[in-house]
Amino acid sequence: MPRRRRRRAPKRSKRKKSADKKQTASSWAINFVIGSLVVVVLGFAFSTVNRFQRNQSPSSMDLSLEESIRNYDQEKSIAAELYKQKAYPDVWVEILNGNGVSGLASKFTEYLRDAGFDVQRTENADRFNYEHTMVIDRSKNPEKAQAVAKALNIDSQYVQSEPNKSLHLDVTVILGKDYRQLPAYKEIQSQSIP
C-alpha cells in the first residue's frame, strides 16, 4: 500500500499576514471609538435626565401666566430704579492710559463708575507721553465733558471738543503724567486697601 502523503496547508504570504495584523489593529481602534461614543452618549443622557428632574420643582412648574408677568414687571421696575439712581446714566465714557502706569485706567474707571458715569471702555492711549490729563468731548455736548471734568476736578483748559460719532461715546479721558496731582487720584489712593 502506497504511503499517503500529507498535504501541507498552503503557507500564508507575508502580505496576507501584514494585512491581517492591520485589520485586527483597525478593528480594535474602531471598537475603542465605538465604546467611547457609547460612554459619552450615556453620560449625556444621564445628565439631561438629571437636569430635567431638578428643573421640575413644583414652584417653577406651578407659576401661572399672571405670576410670571407680575415677576417680570417687578424685575423691570427694579432695573429702572437702579438706572435712575446713577447720577449720569447717559454719559458714556472711555478712559485711556496716556502715561504708561499699569492698572491706573482701571482705578479711574471704578472711581467714575462710583460717581455715576457709564464707563464703556478702558484701554491704552496711542502713546504714553501725555503730560496733562485731558477730557475730550466726543458728542458735541460739552456739558457731558464738563461733568466728567468736574468729577475728576480737571481744569477747564484741559477740556477739549473733538466730536467723533464713530466712537459711540460722549467723553474720552486721557490720563496724563500729572495724574498724581488730581484730587480724584488722592481719593482713589485713600480708598484703596494697602
CATH architecture of 87-191: 2-Layer Sandwich (3.30)
Cα–Cα distance for residue pair 137/167, rounded to 1 Å: 11
Q: Which helix (H) or strand (E) holds 125?
A: none
At residue 14, what is the residue type? Answer: K
Cα–Cα distance for residue pair 147/167, rounded to 1 Å: 19
Q: Does the pLDDT of residue 14 top 70, yes or no?
A: no
Phi and psi at residue 162, to the nearest 5°: -135, 80
Percent pLDDT > 90 in the chain is: 41
CA 157 remoteness from chain centre: 37
Write down the pTM of the prediction.
0.56
According to the model, what pLDDT value does residue 85 have?
57
According to the model, what pLDDT value does residue 75 have?
72
Q: Where are the domains of the chain?
A: 15-54, 87-191
How do residues 124-172 score in pLDDT, each as one tens digit?
Answer: 999 999 999 999 999 999 999 999 999 999 988 999 999 998 889 999 9
According to the model, what pLDDT value does residue 194 have?
47
Q: Does the pLDDT of residue 116 top 50, yes or no?
A: yes
Q: Does the pLDDT of residue 12 top 60, yes or no?
A: no
- Sheet (strand 159-161) strand order: 117-124, 88-97, 171-175, 134-137, 159-161
According to the model, what pLDDT value does residue 53 have?
74
